[in-house]
Structure 1
Amino acid sequence: MSGLESVIENYTVGWICALQEEYDAACRMLDVEFRPTPSGLEIGPRDDNTYDYGMINGHYVVITCLPSGRYGTVAAAITSKDMIRSFPRLQFILLVGIGGGAPTRERDIRLGDVVVSYPEGDLGGVVQFDLGKLHQVDGEERRGSSLFKRTGHLNSPPSVLLEVMPRLLRSHEDATKADKLAEHIKLMDDMPSFRRPAQDQLYRSDYVHQGAGNVKTCRNCDKGQTIARPSRAGNREFMIHHGIIGSSNTVMKNAVERDRYAKELNISCFEMEGAGLMNHLPSCLVIRGICDYSDTHKNDDWHNYAALTAAAYARELLFTLRPLAVRSPRPQAPQPPAQEVPSQPQPLLAPGLEDASQVSGCCRLQ
């Protein structure tokens, strides 16, 4: 090791997971993993996170996972705040894992696909759909399109990533180009549990799962209630979708509600952590592999593969960005004027750069 891995200011990419399978896939995406933990790395005294360190395409990456058994926006917010305090030069955070899809006639979202948060209209890419006001009409409280009023606003992903995402999407959809994401998937070929499952069934929204609550398969469900979908053309194993991700502290397991939110807020995917990170600095991008259809038929069969497709997208995203030196510290919230202005720290130069005049930003397209 060169010794640069021991400089905490060199770490510019944060990667947060919520589940074990997401964490396993994340660590496999590293070009090199620094083990044991590089000497000299001292995280904040109040930081309870456990970190893994490594590099992807020259980016210094720090990975952590939410504590076992803790989920939701609050747990994610605590984890991210500790990471941000310990790593002052993070330029952005990637929240990578699984989510429930919201397929519509316009959006052919299938199991294993990847949904990435992307601004639409007045929404920044992630919407906390359980945050709002519920009005009473005619003595009856219900959540209807004209009764539930969303409040608050979540920030958009960082501009440097939004600029790259269309290029990555175009490359993936071009069948004449190499399938780079499939190459990343192969990094876990030695793990049979992460291979793509064979069965992908979407049931009608009004058809509820049959059998007791502990029946995790659909063997008792009427296959005649599934929605016929044509086979996909092309040579891609899964597809990428840019859109709005719905976030809350409750698992979406209701196809009728799923469809309503998909229509009202144009939500493509549901998850439980994103809203806890979006209004922090640095900005966050949410990447979700689709493991179910947010209905009563959900099970764990697609968890591992969906976690892997999301991690593969995150890896390719970092391969689309060319790492440069960190020109300046991450923007901080406004502070009261100090009595003395500290001297400006010198930029940390990436390998191959001899002086700061060669630095034009934190990241650029490859």
Structure 2
Amino acid sequence: MKVLILDDQYSKVETFCRVLNKLTPCKIDHVSNSKDALKYLYDNSDVDLLIVDLQIPEVLGGDVLVDGGVKFLEYIELNTSYQLPKHVVGATAYAESYCEYKEYFENRGWRLVQGTESETFFESLFSTIINYTRKEFQKFDIAIITALRKTEFEAILSLLHDLSKVQFKNDSNIYYIGSITISSGEIKSVIATSCPRMGIAAATALSTRILLRHNPEYIIMTGIAAGIKGKVKLGDILVAEPSWEWGSGKLTVREGKPTFLSSPHQLHIHSNLSPILSDLSAQRTYLDEIQHSAKELGLECSNQLNMHVGPVASGAVVLEEPETVELIKAQNRDTIGIDMEAYGVMASANYAYSNPTNSIVIKSVCDFANIDKNDDLQPYAAFTSAAFAIKLIQNHLFN
């Protein structure tokens, strides 16, 4: 747990440190003025708890301001360069300040206390915050999501056997948490779940919630997608690079006919990942092994399993119509696939924090978005995409 204490009275700081260290392992940093606190928060975006005295100076050696702590909080609230800590506790030894600013703290879900409280009181207060933070805001190294609970998420659960089911307060989604051992022997923590429904909006909302609560280093989506005939084959694994929303643009009339003028905004995976994935594709790494594992489970495809890195478009509808597929191909002639969620996941990863999170969308082809499509290959596609994602995590992402 990362804690910042902003207070110029060292006896109080010692009390807070003693109580916190008694309750849980903590990384506690202390500053005595607003200027140093601003620098700390600028450099550290993952503070779990901020304890701030209301009476502090702006700079080291400066005069103590009776509302210095409040001015500091107001500044970081308004300035997007700073990320607010997950929990804020204000402290003051003055009854007048307590009465004046108690509502200010309560309106923000924070706590203001009088610094004259006993250690027992602070032990109870900090224990509540720590327990809540552990459950609601535990950091995970990897987040894995799918669009569908059935088939897609079942494939994840079949490969990660030791995940435990959890639910969080004010969240109807069911999550699974656990760990995965990577090739170095290091253990990485995992949180996994499926969207409440298909589509960009649901994927964006879920991804953003996970990113803000759990701050994973990687967010990965697996599942099924439509392939572009002639570019890929049924069963092939696709990695979205880049992704865009194919329905973004303007619908107008040209020569008496409705005409769609596309305006795609493409999102890319991190530049460090592209050569890794391209090499795995060229070398066909893991593919025969994954296809053999699928066959042992009774999941088969007549085509040899291949993996492709290329453009995958996302849209709000399930496609069974060749003319729309041609429209999408016209937006990027190298398009290899179409799905309903990739752009939402990658957009969340790019915008949830000022520093983008690594996002990877891995889906396997179960149809060609035409009227002849059926669900026969969905279990195979769900398994192969999930299996490749696990291999990627175990052997490449943390090297």
Alignment of 1:126 onto 2:243? yes
The one-letter amino acid paired with 1:288 is K
**1:117 and 1:286 in contact (8 A); partners too:** yes
- Alignment CA distance shift 1:92-1:159 (3 Å): farther
Among candidates 313, 317, 336, match of residue 250 of structure 1 = 317
Among candidates 190, 193, 206, match of residue 79 of structure 1 = 206
Alignment of 1:100 onto 2:261? no
Alignment of 1:170 onto 2:290? no
- Alignment CA distance shift 1:161-1:49 (3 Å): farther
**2:175 and 2:193 in contact (8 A); partners too:** yes
**1:53 and 1:62 in contact (8 A); partners too:** yes
Tell me, in whole angstroms, the C-alpha distance in 2 between the residues paired with 1:9 and 1:25: 25
- Alignment CA distance shift 1:196-1:15 (3 Å): same
Q: Cα distance, 1:52 vs. partner? A: 1.4
Alignment of 1:271 onto 2:339? yes
Deviations 1:260-298 (A, max 9, x none): 422441321111112222222324211110000111111
Tell me, in whole angstroms, the C-alpha distance in 2 between the residues paired with 1:60 and 1:304: 26
Larger Rg: 2
SS in 2 for 1:28: helix
Alignment of 1:53 onto 2:177? yes
**1:23 and 1:64 in contact (8 A); partners too:** yes
| Partner of residue 161, structure 1 | 273
Deviations 1:131-188 (A, max 9, x none): 1012321222134xxxx1315x24312344324212322331xxxxxx6234345556
Matches within 5 A, 1:147-158: 148-151=261-264, 153-158=265-270
**1:132 and 1:149 in contact (8 A); partners too:** yes
Instruction: Indicate the structure with greater strand content.
Output: 2
Instruction: Indicate the structure with greater helix content.
Output: 2
Q: Cα distance, 1:256 vs. partner? A: 3.1
Deviations 1:214-265 (A, max 9, x none): xxxxxxxxxxxxxxxxxxxxxxx31111111110111121123313422441
- Alignment CA distance shift 1:128-1:260 (3 Å): same
Deviations 1:94-143 (A, max 9, x none): 11110011123xx2x1110011111xxxxxx1010101012321222134
The one-letter amino acid paired with 2:156 is A
**1:197 and 1:301 in contact (8 A); partners too:** no
Among candidates 180, 183, 186, match of residue 286 of structure 2 = 180
Give the structure-1-normalised TM-score.
0.62
| Partner of residue 230, structure 1 | none
SS in 2 for 1:286: strand
Give the structure-2-normalised TM-score.
0.57
Tell me, in whole angstroms, the C-alpha distance in 2 between the residues paired with 1:250 and 1:307: 19
Higher relative contact order (CA 8 A, sep 6+): 1
Tell me, in whole angstroms, the C-alpha distance in 2 between the residues paired with 1:189 and 1:127: 33
Alignment of 1:262 onto 2:329? yes
Tell me, in whole angstroms, the C-alpha distance in 2 between the residues paired with 1:117 and 1:103: 16
| Partner of residue 22, structure 1 | 152
The one-letter amino acid paired with 1:149 is S
| Partner of residue 142, structure 1 | 259
Instruction: Give the fraction of aligned pairs with identical amino acids, expressed as a percent.
Output: 24
- Alignment CA distance shift 1:140-1:21 (3 Å): same
**1:29 and 1:187 in contact (8 A); partners too:** no
The one-letter amino acid paired with 1:249 is A
The one-letter amino acid paired with 1:261 is I
Structure 1 unpaired stretches of 5+: 1-5, 119-124, 173-178, 201-236, 323-362
Aligned residues: 252
Q: Cα distance, 1:26 vs. partner? A: 1.1
SS in 1 for 2:155: helix
Q: Cα distance, 1:191 vs. partner? A: 4.0
Matches within 5 A, 1:312-351: 312-321=387-396
**2:262 and 2:331 in contact (8 A); partners too:** no
| Partner of residue 301, structure 1 | 376
Tell me, in whole angstroms, the C-alpha distance in 2 between the residues paired with 1:59 and 1:163: 23
Deviations 1:17-39 (A, max 9, x none): 11211101112222x523465xx
SS in 1 for 2:202: helix
- Alignment CA distance shift 1:239-1:181 (3 Å): closer
Tell me, in whole angstroms, the C-alpha distance in 1 between the residues paired with 2:382 and 2:326: 24
- Alignment CA distance shift 1:180-1:77 (3 Å): same
SS in 1 for 2:267: coil
